[in-house]
């Protein structure tokens, strides 16, 4: 089963499988994805996550556990079930793969620790465990470091990755004002053409305008200028 990238561990169980980083996750098990597991000391993430994300900790360090949930109209049909099209196409394994690719190339993204799916008939559920970045603020809160944000987005595009939801809450600034990109659910790896790049930037513009009004728009314009300079 080639669901995860080269070098990742794989553990199959009766209803599904999990992939993991063997250097960080020494005891892979389904319990890693159970927020009710006392060993994880899970606490709900207050902002975002659709009430399906938790801060967790263990021998793998500090992490964020996220169960995949649908939004919008699709959630009326099923909040957490997706059509099965193969292990490598599951939301968790695909995001694990993208994060591992970017992290191995030195980009500022959280390291993927483990991803899992549970299959039931023609559907599956999924969850992922990723590294927690300490001391960060969202771009929506900070409205700072436009050069660092532009460099992070440009580096992602140059690595061949298009972000499916590049918004002001999926860009984090650390204590050194370095920019980190998170939430690569539904991201795609392949040629990132001019139209794809622009769609990411315009999605970010809408998000920043909604989050911070004219101040957000002003910050986005600085990001866009810096991105254009990098592209020149």
Task: Write out pLDDT tens, residues 151-190.
Answer: 999 999 999 999 999 999 999 999 999 999 999 999 999 9
Catalytic residue among 80, 165, 174, 183: 165
Instruction: Give me the residue spans of the domains in the chain.
Output: 9-131, 137-231
Phi, then psi, of 142 in degrees rounded to 5: -85, -45
Task: Write out pLDDT tens, residues 109-152.
Answer: 999 999 999 999 999 999 999 999 999 999 999 999 999 999 99
59 is catalytic: no
Confidence bin at 5 (pLDDT 50/70/90): low
| Mean pLDDT across the chain | 92
Task: Label residue 145 left, alpha or beta by phi (over 0 means left) and psi (-120 to 50 means alpha).
Answer: left
88 secondary structure, DSSP code: G
Q: Is the pLDDT of residue 51 over 90?
A: no
Residue 164 CA to residue 185 CA, distance in Å, equals: 7
Task: Write out pLDDT tens, residues 197-220.
Answer: 999 999 999 999 999 999 999 999
Average of per-residue pLDDT across 24-41? 96
**Which pLDDT value is given to residue 47?**
62
Which helix or strand (DSSP H or E) is residue 203 part of?
helix 194-231
- In this prediction the pTM is 0.92
Strands 179-181 and 43-44: unpaired
Q: Tokens at residue 191, please?
A: 């040629």
In the block, tokens 């305008």 appear at: 209
* CATH node for 137-231: 1.10.510.10
Residue 86 CA to residue 119 CA, distance in Å, equals: 10
**43 vs 80, more confident:** 43
**Which pLDDT value is given to residue 75?**
43
Residue 172 CA to residue 201 CA, distance in Å, equals: 16
Question: Residue 52: is it exposed, middle or buried by C-beta count within 10 angstroms (0-12/13-18/19+)?
Answer: middle
Confidence bin at 49 (pLDDT 50/70/90): very low
- Residues ≥6 apart with Cβ < 8 Å to 78: 70, 123
């Amino acid at each position: 089963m080639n669901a995860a990238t080269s070098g990742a561990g794989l553990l199959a169980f009766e209803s599904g499988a999990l992939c993991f980083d063997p250097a960080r996750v020494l005891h892979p098990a389904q319990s890693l994805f159970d927020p009710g597991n006392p060993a994880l000391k899970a606490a709900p993430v207050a902002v975002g996550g659709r009430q399906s994300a938790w801060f967790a900790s263990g021998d793998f360090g500090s992490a964020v556990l996220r169960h995949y949930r649908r939004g919008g109209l699709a959630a009326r049909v099923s909040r957490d079930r997706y059509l099965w099209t193969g292990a490598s196409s599951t939301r968790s394994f695909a995001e694990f793969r993208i994060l591992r690719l970017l992290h191995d190339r030195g980009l500022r993204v959280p390291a993927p620790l483990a991803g899992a799916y549970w299959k039931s008939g023609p559907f599956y559920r999924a969850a992922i465990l990723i590294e927690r970045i300490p001391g960060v603020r969202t771009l929506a809160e900070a409205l700072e470091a436009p050069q660092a944000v532009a460099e992070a987005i440009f580096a992602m595009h140059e690595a061949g990755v298009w972000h499916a939801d590049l918004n002001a809450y999926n860009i984090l600034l650390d204590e050194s004002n370095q920019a980190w990109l998170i939430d690569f659910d539904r991201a795609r790896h392949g040629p990132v053409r001019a139209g794809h790049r622009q769609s990411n930037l315009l999605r970010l513009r809408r998000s920043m305008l909604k989050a911070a009004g004219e101040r957000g728009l002003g910050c986005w314009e600085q990001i866009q200028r810096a991105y254009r300079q990098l592209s020149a």
